[in-house]
């Protein structure tokens, strides 16, 4: 584990958040859920009231799509997709129930990135999704990534605006956008306008440009910002993965260094970044401090110009065609 690395003033009404920088059991949903429950219990034992998992942590981000050669090589996607699909979360069948039960047992709020299959519709299309689970185990919100990025479109369908919501949890008002959705100004604005305290950005991205984005959002939104990607090494990829030797080169070590980080409202880095290291990053934060930080700049409040700018968000769920 790692505590916040910088000396910060005492926070009057603080709570501890834990950011997961451990890999899943790659493309094995049952063992990944077991590992997730263990990490939640570990974080709770250290006093964490909120635990955050990276993008598509269940059952593991499909990093292989960025490594497949164009053209004939794309045919290899079939076997990899089938394995990934078979290990995806179906919420209609209680796919997150083990983590929900653990959240309820320990009284912690969860933000969980997962790959979703909707068995109630096509049963085949996958989504990059994120759930916010309250301390009593209730799923308060599920968001599907609006726009899969580049080759991700070979794996994931398009989400909708139904989950562009900030929800009241046991630790404050929490919202989340996935990876490059955080580059979408209107998606960010849709969350800012809901009195957000804690803005979570589960991702596969890392590095200085991503960290700069997280800091920008903290200033723009006047909120706590948590960024987290899966720390993954080649040794975490099972030998049984189809085309493993071709996809992961000899001598390669870190596929993703993680870079878990927390930025404070309208300020600088508060904890991390945790680079090329596995564990849990802990930070003490005061959710209510976000509202006071917006005294100087409130993007959807006193600094907005509703007489000039308007934003309409269509939150109608748009699943694939369904036959009753």
Average pLDDT, the chain: 93
Residue 95 has pLDDT above 50, yes or no: yes
Of how many residues is the chain composed?
Answer: 324
Q: Are strands 172-176 and 198-203 parallel, antiparallel or unpaired?
A: parallel
Q: Are strands 172-176 and 167-169 parallel, antiparallel or unpaired?
A: antiparallel
What are the tens digits of pLDDT across the range 38-82?
A: 999 999 999 999 999 999 999 999 999 998 877 766 778 889 999
Helices 185-192 and 208-221, interaxial angle, to 10°?
40
pLDDT for position 211:
97
* Mean pLDDT along residues 273-284: 97
What are the tens digits of pLDDT across the range 31-49?
A: 999 999 999 999 999 999 9
CA 69-146-182 angle, to 5 degrees, is 90
**Confidence band (pLDDT; 50, 70, 90) for 307?**
very high
What are the tens digits of pLDDT across the range 99-134?
A: 999 999 999 999 999 999 988 887 889 999 999 999
Sign of CA dihedral 87, 92, 96, 97: negative
Percent of the chain's residues with pLDDT above 70: 94
Q: Provide the CATH topology of domain 15-293.
A: Nitrilase/N-carbamoyl-D-aminoacid amidohydrolase (3.60.110)
* Mean pLDDT along residues 4-28: 80
What are the tens digits of pLDDT across the range 183-206?
A: 999 999 999 999 999 999 999 999
pLDDT for position 251:
80
Domain ranges within the chain, ordered by starting residue: 15-293
Q: How far apart are CA 246 and CA 21, in angstroms?
A: 26
Residues acting as catalytic residues: 55, 145, 179
pLDDT for position 268:
94
């Amino acid at each position: 584990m790692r505590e916040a690395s910088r000396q910060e003033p005492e926070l009057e009404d603080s709570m501890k958040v834990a950011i997961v920088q451990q890999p899943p059991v790659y493309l094995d949903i049952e063992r990944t859920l077991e590992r997730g429950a263990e990490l939640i219990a570990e974080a709770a034992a250290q006093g964490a009231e909120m635990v955050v998992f990276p993008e598509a942590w269940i059952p593991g981000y499909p990093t292989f799509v960025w490594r497949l050669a164009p053209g004939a090589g794309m045919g290899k996607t079939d076997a990899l997709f089938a394995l990934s699909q078979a290990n995806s979360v179906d919420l209609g069948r209680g796919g997150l129930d083990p983590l929900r039960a653990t959240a309820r047992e320990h009284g912690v709020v969860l933000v969980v990135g997962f790959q979703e299959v909707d068995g109630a519709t096509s049963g085949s299309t996958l989504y990059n999704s994120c759930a916010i689970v309250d301390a009593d185990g209730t799923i308060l919100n599920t968001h599907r990534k609006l726009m899969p990025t580049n080759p991700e479109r070979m794996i994931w369908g398009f989400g909708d605006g139904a989950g562009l919501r900030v929800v009241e949890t046991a630790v404050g008002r929490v919202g989340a956008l996935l990876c490059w959705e955080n580059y979408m100004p209107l998606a960010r604005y849709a969350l800012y306008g809901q009195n957000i305290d804690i803005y979570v950005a589960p991702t596969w991205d890392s590095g200085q440009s991503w960290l700069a984005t997280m800091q920008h959002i903290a200033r723009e939104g006047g909120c706590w910002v948590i960024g987290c990607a899966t720390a993954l090494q080649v040794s975490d990829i099972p030998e049984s993965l189809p085309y493993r030797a071709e996809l992961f080169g000899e001598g390669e070590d870190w596929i993703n260094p993680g870079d878990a980080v927390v930025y404070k409202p309208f300020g600088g880095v508060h904890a991390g970044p945790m680079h090329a290291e596995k564990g849990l990053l802990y930070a003490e934060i005061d959710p209510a401090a976000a509202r006071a930080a917006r005294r100087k700049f409130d993007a959807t409040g006193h600094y907005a110009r509703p007489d000039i700018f308007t934003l309409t968000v269509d939150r109608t769920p748009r699943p694939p065609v369904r036959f009753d």
